[in-house]
A and B are shown apart, each in its own frame.
Chain A
Amino acid sequence: EPEVTQTPSHQVTQMGQEVILRCVPISNHLYFYWYRQILGQKVEFLVSFYNNEISEKSEIFDDQFSVERPDGSNFTLKIRSTKLEDSAMYFCASKTTGAYNSPLHFGNGTRLTVT
């Protein structure tokens, strides 16, 4: 069964450094998302992306964050200057359409640790 793949599975970085988290969504999916989960807390929406542009973003997704679909398969999340509070599990997700009844499929996540 096709799946969303994320790399790396674990990333350790120093505060102030830039990180890029990578995702390969399911191939026929058109809507792409990033969510995050701080340890012990809820899964939170960050951003949705469709047709090469951001369609919605949360308050968390400030100027330090950016997303890109550099080619036909990858979808990336960049954090420009990481802070300690960016430490979390970051999940990429994708679905075929924007409709409510289109299941959202998640990757296994990248655990980001900022020291």
Chain B
Amino acid sequence: SQELEQSPQSLIVQEGKNLTINCTSSKTLYGLYWYKQKYGEGLIFLMMLQKGGEEKSHEKITAKLDEKKQQSSLHITASQPSHAGIYLCGAVLTQGGSEKLVFGKGTKLTVNP
């Protein structure tokens, strides 16, 4: 089974609509990162969450880490074509020492004008 499950795998929305992407782990999330990737390009850092219940916002994107620290959601308000891309969650799943990020498979977002 996957360590990090993202849902949905893909999402097509009309411009102006709100949407939510989820990232679920069977293990405790010690650090949870959200990135955006355009096809064939690098990963753009969006936000990092560490504490249970934490919520961060940047422009129209809000990310939350639930109290149990096993799920995070990314919410986009009033989506625009510029939001289109692949959203990846990456997480530190081991406390103390391991620095590596484990990634989900990504959610491909299409925003139709």
Partners in one complex: yes
Q: Which residues of A contact B (CB under 8 A)?
A: 4, 31, 33, 35, 41-45, 48, 55-56, 58, 89, 91, 98, 100-101, 103-109, 111
Name B59-113 residues within 8 Å CB distance of A: 88, 90, 92, 98-106
Q: How far is the CA of A86 from the CA of B4 in the complex (A)?
A: 24
Closest CB of chain A to B4's CB: distance in Å? 9
- Expressed in whole angstroms, the minimum distance between the Cβ of B17 and any Cβ of chain A is 27
Q: Which residue numbers of B lie inside 8 Å of A, CB to CB?
A: 30-31, 33, 35, 40-45, 48, 50, 88, 90, 92, 98-106
Instruction: Select A100's contact among B31, B104, B105, beta carbons within 8 Å.
Output: B31
Q: Choose one: A41, A98, A101, A104; the contact of B101 (CB below 8 Å).
A: A104
The answer to whether B103 and A106 have CB atoms under 8 Å apart is no
| Residue in chain A with minimal CB distance to B45 | A103
Residues of B within 8 A of A89 (CB): 40
* A35 to B88 CA separation, bound complex (whole angstroms): 14
A36 to chain B, nearest CB (A): 11
Least CB separation from B3: chain A residue: A42
Most buried by A among B50, B88, B99, B102: B99
Chain B neighbourhood of A100, CB < 8 A: 30-31, 50, 92
Q: Count the A-B residue pairs with Cβ separation under 8 angstroms: how many?
A: 57
A4 to B43, CA, bound (A): 11
Alpha-carbon separation in the docked complex, A109 to B48 (Å): 21
Give the residues in chain A near B99, CB-CB below 8 Å: 31, 33, 48, 55-56, 98
Q: Which of B40, B48, B88 contacts A101 (CB 8 A)?
A: B48
**B100–A43 touching, CB < 8 Å:** no
> Cβ of A103: which chain B residues have Cβ within 8 Å of it?
33, 45, 48
19 examples of A-B residue contacts, CB within 8 angstroms: A4-B42, A42-B104, A42-B105, A42-B106, A43-B88, A43-B90, A43-B103, A45-B101, A48-B99, A48-B100, A56-B98, A56-B100, A100-B30, A103-B45, A103-B48, A106-B43, A106-B44, A109-B41, A109-B42
